């Protein structure tokens, strides 16, 4: 079946998740949708699957326009989807999961589980899935759960299969098997839309590639493109947010992280990570979202627990200290999710500015609070950080994202800092706010504070960092010195490749060996010379 999306637009409040996206998937084609996290790929597929109503644009199947009220309509039209987070009920058996919604049933609605079982067995056999129809979902490994999802889609005669980040949760071996399965499905005539941000897989399996960035289609590519070309397309060449900054003047105070491991269940999400940051420099932790950066930042503050390793600040061990003790030790922390972790949205701006100091002089006097001082502090800080507001007593939820983030920064920087950790400091902010936030962070660095920035935006990483550590699957792939950055050394292409797990030296080689037109254009746009 041929699938065509024309001008699909989806808006969530101020965020344009999909901006007039056009996409054509030919019958029997594996079409990769490539883009960074948050680029709008999943939103687009949820629109296609009837989970979201598009605000504009239309969907055509075999050149006939269709509208989907819900996933039921999409399924009837022949679209199947394997979600990134599996849509399986853990306490059901495989047969029940596959039957759900399309149950073979006899009189009185009594299930014909025998028929459901046979269906699973038949599809399982046809593609060599080896899935036991009576196994409980929660007892199956993720790779097998994913096959159950594929069986589910196939059992409803899906002719277009959407795979949303299917390899995100798989081991390398499981990924290989999935790629084989995709080949077989293609041979059987199924069109596949393969959503990913992983370059290797795209080149290994896709027939055509559409790259999406910030909700827009930025280009098409063929699988013959090099990873470098794909990386630069995916990461983009948007406005260069150049930040004026002098070379780092290193001081003696430092944060040292050694062999730090954080477990989620029994799998390490931060895997033996070591690095150090000296006073007066900015270390940016780059990487695709979900590679352990969040946990790393949280474990430094103490809201996540380390399984092994050590974190010392100016020679003092931080692990084992409470969050409060760490804050008192001089850590400033800008959390990744401002609205849930950064502020209490129903509290006033003034109250949010003293969340960390509410119980100390001058804001507290015994058991009561000195509201005069709280207000005074709020007036001063909001002016200092240029927060645009009507009244400091308004709830912080009335502020725009940029202004709320300035409040968070104002609070975190109002203490004498020995370390600043900022996760995604400019996510969702407008250009003006981004500039301001960057300036304040650089100012803190120039004060002699070690600064750790976690960012998935390469633009930001390159603008701020003195050194860049790239994380992939919980490990640091490599740490590069941004001062060496240049056409021959470290650039956006190299970092992009490292974010896909390519080790530093290979990445440098690949990026240098395959200087493509795209890469040249990229470099030209950055105002750098090509050698």
Partner 1 sequence: MSTPIVPVTAGTPVDDVPASGAVLGKISYRIPITYAVLAGAALLGLVGTMIGREGAWSQTTEFQSRYGDQWFTIPNFSVPSLLTVILLTVALLAAAVYGYLLTSGRKAVPVWLHIVVGVAFVLAFLTWAGAGKSAVIPVTSLLAGALALSVPLIFGAMSGIVCERSGIINIAIEGQLLFGAFAAAVVASLATAPYLGLVAAPIAGALIGALLAWFAVSYHVNQIIIGVVLNTLVLGLTSFFFSTLLADNSATWNARQPLGVIEIPLLSQIPIVGPVLFRQTILVYLMYATVILLQIMLFRSRWGLRTRAVGEHPKAADTVGIHVNKRRVWNTILGGAIAGLGGAFFTIGSGLAFGREMSAGNGFIALAAMILGKWNPTGALVAALLFGFSKNLGNVLSTIGSPMPSQILLMLPYVITIFAVAGLVGRVRAPAAEGIPYTK
Question: Footprint of partner 1 on this chain (CB under 8 A)?
Answer: 49, 51-52, 70-73, 75, 81, 83, 86-92, 96, 99-103, 105, 108-111, 113, 152
Could you say which DSSP state residue 338 is in?
I
Residue 468: strand pairing partners: 284, 480
For partner 1, which is the closer residue by CB, 145 or 433?
145
Question: Which residues, other chains included, contact 294 with Cβ-Cβ below 8 Å and sequence gap of 6+?
Answer: 336, 423, 454
What is the closest distance, in whole angstroms, from the C-beta atom of residue 277 to partner 1 in the complex? 41
What is the closest distance, in whole angstroms, from the C-beta atom of residue 147 to partner 1 in the complex? 16
What is the closest distance, in whole angstroms, from the C-beta atom of residue 257 to partner 1 in the complex? 34
Residue pair 270/287 in contact by the 8 Å Cβ criterion: no
62-78 core/surface letters (b: 16 or more CB in 10 A; e: else): eeeebebeebeebbebb
What is the closest distance, in whole angstroms, from the C-beta atom of residue 71 to partner 1 in the complex? 5
Could you say which DSSP state residue 506 is in?
H
What is the closest distance, in whole angstroms, from the C-beta atom of residue 140 to partner 1 in the complex? 15
For partner 1, which is the closer residue by CB, 94 or 318?
94
For partner 1, which is the closer residue by CB, 110 or 187?
110
Helix (H) or strand (E) holding 19: strand 15-25
For partner 1, which is the closer residue by CB, 24 or 113?
113
Residue pair 50/87 in contact by the 8 Å Cβ criterion: no
For partner 1, which is the closer residue by CB, 75 or 420?
75
- The rounded distance, in Å, linking the Cα atoms of 522 and 519 is 5
What is the closest distance, in whole angstroms, from the C-beta atom of residue 52 to partner 1 in the complex? 8
What is the closest distance, in whole angstroms, from the C-beta atom of residue 268 to partner 1 in the complex? 23
What is the closest distance, in whole angstroms, from the C-beta atom of residue 346 to partner 1 in the complex? 17
Handedness of CA 461, 467, 470, 471 (dihedral sign): negative
For partner 1, which is the closer residue by CB, 75 or 349?
75
Which pair of tokens denotes residue 219? 């280009």
For partner 1, which is the closer residue by CB, 107 or 366?
107
Residue pair 75/132 in contact by the 8 Å Cβ criterion: no
Query: 7: left (phi > 0), else alpha (psi -120 to 50), else beta?
Result: left
Q: How many other C-beta atoms lie within 10 A of the C-beta of residue 153?
A: 24
What is the closest distance, in whole angstroms, from the C-beta atom of residue 158 to partner 1 in the complex? 12
Strand order in the sheet with 467-472: 331-334, 419-423, 451-454, 282-286, 467-472, 475-481
For partner 1, which is the closer residue by CB, 91 or 371?
91
Residue pair 249/216 in contact by the 8 Å Cβ criterion: no
For partner 1, which is the closer residue by CB, 162 or 417?
162
What is the closest distance, in whole angstroms, from the C-beta atom of residue 100 to partner 1 in the complex? 5
- The rounded distance, in Å, linking the Cα atoms of 53 and 11 is 10
What is the closest distance, in whole angstroms, from the C-beta atom of residue 43 to partner 1 in the complex? 13
Handedness of CA 218, 219, 221, 227 (dihedral sign): negative
Residue pair 17/7 in contact by the 8 Å Cβ criterion: no
For partner 1, which is the closer residue by CB, 63 or 69?
69
What is the closest distance, in whole angstroms, from the C-beta atom of residue 106 to partner 1 in the complex? 10
For partner 1, which is the closer residue by CB, 49 or 472?
49
Handedness of CA 279, 280, 282, 283 (dihedral sign): negative
For partner 1, which is the closer residue by CB, 49 or 385?
49
Report phi then psi at 67, rounded to 5: -130, 140
For partner 1, which is the closer residue by CB, 149 or 336?
149
Which pair of tokens denotes residue 463? 């603008």
DSSP letters for 457-485: -HHHHHHH-SEEEEEETTEEEEEEEGGGB
How far is CA 384 from each of CA 204, 370, 408, 414, rounded to the nearest angstrom? 52, 21, 13, 10
- The rounded distance, in Å, linking the Cα atoms of 518 and 236 is 10
For partner 1, which is the closer residue by CB, 87 or 431?
87
What is the closest distance, in whole angstroms, from the C-beta atom of residue 120 to partner 1 in the complex? 15
Q: How many other C-beta atoms lie within 10 A of the C-beta of residue 328?
A: 13
What is the closest distance, in whole angstroms, from the C-beta atom of residue 47 to partner 1 in the complex? 12
Q: Is 135 helix (H, G, I), strand (E, B) or coil?
A: coil
């Amino acid at each position: 079946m041929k699938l065509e999306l024309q001008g699909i637009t989806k808006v969530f409040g101020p965020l344009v998740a999909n901006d007039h996206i056009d996409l054509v998937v030919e019958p029997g084609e594996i079409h990769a949708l490539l883009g960074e996290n948050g680029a709008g790929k999943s939103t687009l597929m949820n629109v296609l699957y009837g989970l979201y109503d598009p605000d504009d644009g239309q969907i055509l199947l075999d050149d006939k326009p269709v509208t989907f009220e819900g996933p039921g309509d999409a399924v009837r039209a022949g679209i199947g989807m394997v979600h990134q987070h599996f849509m399986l009920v853990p306490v059901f058996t495989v047969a029940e999961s596959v039957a759900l919604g399309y149950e073979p049933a006899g009189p009185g609605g009594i299930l014909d589980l025998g028929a459901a079982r046979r269906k699973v067995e038949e599809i399982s056999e046809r593609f060599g899935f080896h899935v036991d129809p009576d196994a409980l979902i929660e007892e199956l490994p993720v790779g097998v759960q994913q096959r159950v999802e594929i069986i589910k889609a196939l059992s409803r005669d899906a002719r277009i299969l959407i795979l949303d980040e299917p390899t995100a949760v798989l081991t390398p071996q499981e990924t290989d098997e999935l790629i084989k399965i995709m080949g077989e499905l293609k041979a059987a005539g199924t069109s596949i839309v393969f959503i990913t941000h992983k370059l290797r897989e795209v080149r290994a399996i896709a027939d055509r590639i559409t790259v999406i960035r910030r909700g827009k289609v930025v280009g098409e590519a063929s699988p013959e493109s090099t990873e470098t070309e794909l990386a630069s397309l995916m990461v983009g060449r948007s406005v260069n947010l150049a930040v004026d900054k002098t070379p780092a003047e290193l001081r003696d105070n430092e944060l040292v992280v050694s062999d730090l491991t954080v477990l989620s269940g029994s799998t390490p999400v931060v895997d033996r990570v070591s690095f150090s940051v000296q006073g007066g420099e900015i270390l940016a932790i780059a990487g695709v979202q979900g590679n352990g950066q969040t946990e790393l930042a949280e474990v430094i503050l103490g809201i996540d627990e380390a399984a092994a390793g050590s974190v010392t600040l100016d020679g003092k061990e931080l692990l084992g200290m409470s969050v409060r003790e760490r804050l008192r030790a001089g850590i400033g922390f800008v959390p990744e999710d401002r609205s849930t972790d950064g502020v209490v949205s129903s509290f006033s701006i003034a109250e949010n500015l003293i969340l960390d100091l509410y119980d100390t002089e001058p804001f507290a006097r015994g058991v009561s609070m000195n509201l005069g001082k709280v207000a005074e502090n709020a007036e001063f800080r909001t002016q200092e950080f240029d927060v645009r507001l009507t009244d400091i007593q308004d709830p912080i939820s009335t502020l725009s994202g940029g202004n709320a983030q300035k409040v968070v920064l104002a609070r975190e920087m109002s203490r004498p800092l020995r370390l600043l950790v900022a996760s995604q400091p400019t996510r969702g902010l407008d250009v003006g706010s981004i500039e301001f936030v960057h300036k304040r962070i650089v100012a803190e660095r120039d004060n002699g504070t070690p600064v750790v920035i976690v960012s998935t935006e390469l633009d930001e990483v390159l603008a701020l960092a003195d050194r860049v550590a790239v994380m992939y699957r919980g490990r640091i792939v490599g740490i590069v010195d941004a001062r060496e950055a240049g056409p021959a050394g470290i650039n956006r292409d190299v970092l992009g490749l490292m974010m896909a797990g390519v080790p530093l030296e290979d990445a440098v080689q690949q990026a240098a060996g395959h200087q493509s037109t795209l890469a040249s254009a990229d470099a030209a746009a950055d105002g750098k010379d090509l050698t």
